[in-house]
Chain A
């Protein structure tokens, strides 16, 4: 398909406004899966595969949480600890409404990747259980924890972001119902 004919938001990295970030992000996401799935074709060393996969998963977690999330969709989350009491405190940030333009392609790639990855790992966990390869279960469990954490945290960031976006736009336009409807339709089709 010709580039000029691609609708905004279609899944082509050329339409991205942060192509390097996007490609690195997708690279990390896919590479951990690939190493886990096909690593044993190239080496018999289980330990090596284990280490590489874990390091890739950790890098992916870090990159998504600290870099890709805020550059692609303007969301960010972290955990703080109050040093006097030791209570954790989660913070979910989203860019202020109207200040950051979020590319539809970036956003679509981001959300597809963020929700698809846990599903893949769940499938791989099922496969590992039913093919009695229990040695891989710890690795799959770690992968699930890392990916699911990011998915949940970012979806919460996103809820807040949308809520404040709607509040802002409705306030400006003075038409609450219309803006909700158009936002809903727009978001439904843009992802």
Chain B
């Protein structure tokens, strides 16, 4: 079944994912005693090749990419794996991934950027004031030392470096299911698919907005974070499914939406958006959470 490219197996491994169809045929055979790291730059001596640099969201313009990937001018890096990690036990893998999920969830449960440090008031979660507050912090940090990057890395690294889509998937499914419980029999499928589509489209729109504002966050990362921050809204949907009284819903849901927003902002807010546009970047996020909160409210 792997036959299509079988006869070109000697091609050097600089084949990128996106132009994967037929363009890798023209690759050279590298010298047999070549080390992996001593391959030539494949792009240079091949003017006749139809190979082109990969385009799309995995841009090759990264200055900070590792030596290998920038030398190959490609989107990825190939490397041999040490046997001890490639042969690790299944339980090790599962445990590691579960703990990664848990650590991401913890960042959402306890948005430290807002609740820790100097900003203690939940009522600060209004966009303008938040933007101002952030600027204050950034100014403070740059005055103290060159800590802007520290500030960013501080609350981004663990949650952002390795993303997964379990959170978005599970919470999106839970939200759609819980919201469709209370709807009428005939409308159940429509409600489910509507909420499901709305969540994913909303995540996409918010991410595109952040990217366009100059945020240094990849698409998948942003979807991952927004997905995990849906957790408070899942609680809201659960309360709706349990037929909470509508008067009690208003304060509770406002707090839950605020919680989601605080978590989303505290993780996404430092993603390198041009400083005085943080409010602009956060606004669609707030609309997104508020919309879902309203859906929970009326269901």
Contact = CB atoms under 8 A, between A and B. Distances in A.
A74 B86 contact: yes
Interface in A80-128: 80-97, 99-100, 111-112, 114-116
B298 interface: no
Contacts of A95: 80-81, 83, 86
Nearest to B66: A89
A70 B89 CA distance: 11
B156 A83 contact: yes
Nearest to A183: B9
Contact of A76 (B59, B69, B86): B86
Nearest to B84: A99
A69 B238 CA distance: 38
A23 interface: no
A135 interface: yes
Nearest to A57: B169
A159 B193 contact: no
Contacts of B218: 81, 86-88
Interface string A161-191: 0111011001100001000100110011001
Interface string A128-168: 00000001001000000000000011011111101110110
Given A90-B58, A93-B86, A96-B81, A85 B32 contact: no
Contacts of B57: 88
Contacts of A188: 3, 6
B15 A88 contact: no
Contacts of A71: 87, 90
Nearest to A188: B6
Q: Most chain-B Cβ atoms within 10 A of its Cβ — which of A46, A82, A83, A138? A: A83
B152 interface: yes
Contacts of B149: 84
Interface in B152-167: 152-153, 156-157, 160-163, 165-166
A51 B58 contact: no
Contacts of A158: 2
Nearest to A77: B76
A26 interface: no
Contacts of A163: 9-13, 30
Contact of B20 (A51, A78, A81, A152): A152
Contact of B180 (A47, A94, A167, A184): A47
Contacts of A155: 2, 5, 20
B155 to A, nearest CB: 10
Nearest to B20: A152
Contacts of A167: 30-34, 36
Interface in B130-186: 149, 152-153, 156-157, 160-163, 165-166, 169, 173, 177, 180
The 3 closest A-B pairs by CB, nearest first: A90-B76, A86-B216, A160-B13
Interface of B: 1-3, 5-7, 9-13, 15, 17, 20, 24, 30-34, 36, 57-59, 62-66, 69, 75-83, 86-87, 90, 93, 97, 149, 152-153, 156-157, 160-163, 165-166, 169, 173, 177, 180, 188-189, 192-193, 196-197, 215-218, 220-221, 271-272
Given A155-B2, A164-B80, A184-B6, 16 more contacts: A58-B169, A83-B156, A84-B152, A85-B62, A85-B64, A86-B271, A87-B62, A88-B218, A89-B77, A93-B79, A99-B83, A167-B33, A167-B34, A180-B10, A184-B7, A188-B3
Interface of A: 21, 46-47, 50-51, 54-55, 58, 62, 66-67, 70-71, 74, 76, 78-97, 99-100, 111-112, 114-116, 135, 138, 152-153, 155-160, 162-164, 166-167, 170-171, 176, 180, 183-184, 187-188, 191
